[in-house]
Amino acid sequence: MKTEININDALSQDNQLYSKVAELIELARQKVATVVNLTMVHTYFEVGRMIVEDEQQGKERAEYGKALLKDLSVRLTEKFGKGFSVDNLERMKKFYLVYSIYEIPSSKFKSDENQSTSIRQISSSELENNELNTNQISATALRKFERTENQTDMHQDAIISESRMPRFQISWSHYLVLMKIENQNERSFYEIESAANNWSLTNLKRQYHSSLYERLALSRNKEEIMKLASEGQTMVKPEDILKNPLSLEFLGMEEKVAYSESDLEHAIISKLQSFLLEMGKGFLFEARQKRFTFDEKHYYVDLVFYNRLLQCYVIIDLKTEELLHKDLGQMQMYVNYYDRNVKVDYEKPSIGILLCKKKNDALVELTLPKEANIYASEYSLYLPDKQLLQQKLNEWMKEFEDLE
């Protein structure tokens, strides 16, 4: 019997040892993969720089640019294998042009907060024709980074000059998506969010196609819109959780099919992870159909979340019909109940959101006091029209400019 116990103990210790070693190796592989991916991104940026600078040596070389790339592609493929087609070399060239001309305005990515740069705006025609002076794409458009020691001992053409290189933090596949975004502020926003939240490529594409940037921007004033490009989505005040509209296309519910509030609630719970991602940062799920009793009557809150960044409860009521003033009154009661009976002293006032098909801002403003943390937010069961939202955002920005 004692021998059997000893054997079991030994097996248990072996399993623990295996788990620890396996975890260490897995973490090491992940770290190596990350380093390899980032090294590849920096290498492609530098390859793009070399191509651009070579083409800028004169009109003659620019005219034969295609032929030069084709020859370069053949020779690199012979030596290094796949990955250096003419199309890929063109992408590396574009990568350099996009990320060397404009400084990503994120304070999170700057290595010198006090650096003041004057960024020359370069037209799209200059980009297409490569009519750029490399000296103009220098430190005035790039961040200041630490220089590699012993650079003077290396041939200038053979080094990757970190002093001229942006600090990339996501994979080459991510940048292939980001390069297609023409708006600099929008591109910067998605880069910040991808790095900060470790977005997968699939997630980045989903957030872009769901127009996350435009939906957040349309819920903010001009100053806060600018912060989206420099800081990403922040959670400081209740309004920061709002999006216009909330995109619920992942639920798979058809817009034209009749459905009830309970159907919508069930669909959200079945895709809770996706719903939390759409809601934004810091959300934790607490309950569905949360019951509380008041004056011997039972009331049920559709969904209750907690936001750890705002340090408050977020109460959501689902509405598939027209929003009425009694809905607002009911939400006010829910919020009051949580503030008076659930939240503790260090927590901030609860937030109420009426998630509805069509919101009525005038009704909300007229019914509720200005200091109420209650909002009506629209939802959409399909991806919003990105072009339409961009147009709406441009009009929104123009209104701000006219007021100034």
Q: Which residues of 337-347 are buried (b: 16+ CB within 10 A; e: fewer)?
A: bbbeeebeeee
Same domain, yes or no, for 198 and 312? Answer: no
Please determine, for residue 155, whether its predicted confidence score (pLDDT) is greater than 50.
Answer: no
Domain residues for 278?
Answer: 246-383
Does residue 233 sit within a domain? yes
Does residue 85 sit within a domain? yes
User: What pLDDT is attached to residue 139?
Assistant: 32
Please determine, for residue 288, whether its predicted confidence score (pLDDT) is greater than 90.
Answer: yes
Cα 314 from chain centroid? 22
Same domain, yes or no, for 253 and 363? Answer: yes
Same domain, yes or no, for 200 and 189? Answer: yes
Please determine, for residue 112, whether its predicted confidence score (pLDDT) is greater than 50.
Answer: no
Instruction: Classify the phi-psi angles of 139: left when phi > 0, otherwise alpha if psi is within -120 to 50, otherwise beta.
Output: alpha
DSSP designation for 142: S
Same domain, yes or no, for 377 and 394? Answer: no
User: What pLDDT is attached to residue 146?
Assistant: 36
Say how many domains are in the chain: 3
Q: 360 versus 248: which is more confidently predicted? A: 248
User: What pLDDT is attached to residue 294?
Assistant: 80
Instruction: Look up the CATH number of the domain holding residue 366.
Output: 3.40.1350.10
Cα 84 from chain centroid? 29
Same domain, yes or no, for 108 and 229? Answer: yes
Q: 34 versus 339: which is more confidently predicted? A: 339
Of 60, 56, 68, 191, which is closest to residue 137 (Cα–Cα)? 56
Residue 359 has φ and ψ, to the nearest 5°, of -90, 160
Same domain, yes or no, for 53 and 79? Answer: yes
Does residue 11 sit within a domain? yes
Highest mean pLDDT: which range of 177-181, 244-248, 380-384: 177-181
Same domain, yes or no, for 234 and 250? Answer: no
Does residue 73 sit within a domain? yes
Q: 343 versus 160: which is more confidently predicted? A: 343
Does residue 309 sit within a domain? yes
Does residue 121 sit within a domain? no
User: What pLDDT is attached to residue 333?
Assistant: 92
Distance separating alpha carbons of residues 188 and 210, to the nearest angstrom = 17
Same domain, yes or no, for 352 and 297? Answer: yes
CB atoms within 10 A of CB 176: 14
Indicate yes or no: pTM above 0.75.
no
Mean pLDDT for the stretch of residues 52-76? 77
Please determine, for residue 118, whether its predicted confidence score (pLDDT) is greater than 50.
Answer: no
Q: 403 versus 259: which is more confidently predicted? A: 259
**256-262, Cβ contacts within 8 angstroms, sequence gap of 24 or more:** 259/320, 260/320, 261/302, 261/318, 261/319, 261/320
Same domain, yes or no, for 390 and 378? Answer: no
Give the SS3 label for residue 353. Answer: strand
Same domain, yes or no, for 214 and 109? Answer: yes
